[in-house]
Structure 1
């Protein structure tokens, strides 16, 4: 075990909880901060709670991994199948959680990363956030908010490389995971493509282990394949 810490935000969600368990089992970190709205009061829509959490983390071992395992897809509002279903409320809800929240996490947690060694900041993205890979349309708010997240991650990678040359910033697509987020949309997904949270977490952490600073700013699928912007 080292004197380093890991931070998982969204630690009570399916993927987040599985990532926490995998990290604990690895024995690689002296401390793991499992943060969430229901567990520790960190609310992505309340910047003061993000800042407070960062302050707490700063008091302990230096974090070398910040994993943002959050996201919203339906939560009372089904993804739009047509532009006729677009509403400002739905768009803003997805942007607040999927884009603005992780961006504010970066604002408060990136200053905690060490400059003298490898450090990773990662956020769950989605293949449907790829503009180049979009063949079906629809799901306007979710797609657009994840595409915006990918741009934020690219910006962060460029800026952080100037002060943290060994840092890696990345987005990760976890696959179709058997959680509440994907449950209404699992019909037609073959069993071998419907992952348990633990399987997804295992794959994502393996991808992270293989990323280098040259990969920073990219978005990667659970199998390590780079997803086009």
Structure 2
């Protein structure tokens, strides 16, 4: 049994690796990032769990690398029980992103969409054959044989990607990229529940987490609402462990509440 964490070099991705290695000792963790040899925290974690953590290079904006990573994993593993797409970009130039229309640049939009929307979908494309061969180690299995699932696919989204929840505007590229990712999740959920082998597909909002990605906004976060990666992943794993086929295609916040598209 194995799980794959895409974008595992830091932040939530790294914490997902730590959590699963510590809590599910029967599982192997396959971690991807652009340059594993330079990911110091990930390398330290592999030194701690040399037999249960494997690293693979994967830049999700490069389709060939996604295909090669999937082929490399398939040579050693028959299936995957969980895939979490964590890799994300707030804005290519750093800072707070676009506060108004005058800040929008086509190049920034393209790179953000490539990283946050297209990349996770391409990763799903190449790893889905392994998900369809999973053992159903995560989530709650239905007593109805027709509603059993083989694996779970999680796309790490954000509340600002909700069109229905958008009351402030701004953040054009990031909002658009997460809204597009949510549409990819919905599409995947429809396609991957049709066959005999089924995969639960959900988007998850982790809350505002104390990571490099969210640093520009920390001073504006209300007291008690800036989460540690440990707290956020604990909450997200609780959701994942309780998913079933009735919830595929939905968008959940860290506290289990369903968010509008």
Shorter-chain TM range is over 0.9
Partner Cα distance (1:203, 1:168) in 2:
18
Q: Is the 8 A contact 2:60 2:66 kept in 1?
A: yes
Matched with 2:62 is 46
**Residue 25 of structure 2 corresponds to residue 21 of structure 1:** no
Matched with 1:110 is 128
Post-superposition CA distance 1:78-102 (Å, at most 9, x none): 4111112111011101100000000
Matched with 2:119 is 101
Partner Cα distance (1:80, 1:94) in 2:
12
Q: CA RMSD in A?
A: 1.5
Partner Cα distance (2:92, 2:196) in 1:
37
Q: In the TM superposition, what is the alpha-carbon distance from 1:227 to its structure 2 partner?
A: 0.8
- Quick one: which of 228, 232, 240 aligns to 1:196? 228
Partner Cα distance (1:164, 1:14) in 2:
35
Q: In the TM superposition, what is the alpha-carbon distance from 1:27 to its structure 2 partner?
A: 2.2
Q: In the TM superposition, what is the alpha-carbon distance from 1:28 to its structure 2 partner?
A: 5.1
Q: In the TM superposition, what is the alpha-carbon distance from 1:61 to its structure 2 partner?
A: 4.3
Q: Is the 8 A contact 2:78 2:130 kept in 1?
A: no
Matched with 1:169 is 201
Partner Cα distance (1:103, 1:197) in 2:
24
**Residue 181 of structure 2 corresponds to residue 136 of structure 1:** no
Q: In the TM superposition, what is the alpha-carbon distance from 1:164 to its structure 2 partner?
A: 5.0
TM superposition outliers: structure 1 runs of 4+ over 6 Å: none
- Alignment coverage as a number of residue pairs: 226
Partner Cα distance (1:151, 1:31) in 2:
30
Name the SS of the counterpart of 1:192 in structure 2.
coil
Which runs of 5 or more residues in structure 2 are unaligned? 37-55, 137-148
Which runs of 5 or more residues in structure 1 are unaligned? none
Structure index of larger Rg: 2
Partner Cα distance (2:188, 2:82) in 1:
15
Name the SS of the counterpart of 2:169 in structure 1.
coil
